[in-house]
Amino acid sequence: MPISNTSVVTTADFTSQEGFVSVYANKIINSKLYVRGRITV
């Protein structure tokens, strides 16, 4: 199970935050939420 992390972000009040994510149990619950298309100019 791959785990990724984001870089540490320090906010204006000097608190630091870092995020972790995993793709375990990845399932689309509402398929109408995502749209596929092409943008042409």
pLDDT over threshold 70, residue 1: no
Greater confidence, 35 or 15?
15
- Give me the chain's average pLDDT, please: 81
Give the CA angle between residues 34, 39, 41 to the nearest 5°.
165
CA–CA separation, 25 and 23 (whole Å): 6
| pLDDT recorded at residue 21 | 79
- Reported as a single tens digit per residue, the pLDDT across 13-31 is 999 988 887 766 667 778 7
Q: Tokens at residue 19, please? A: 């995020």
Domain range list for the chain = 3-33
Average pLDDT of span 4-9: 86
Question: Percent of the chain at pLDDT above 70?
Answer: 88
Separation of alpha carbons 8 and 17, rounded Å: 6
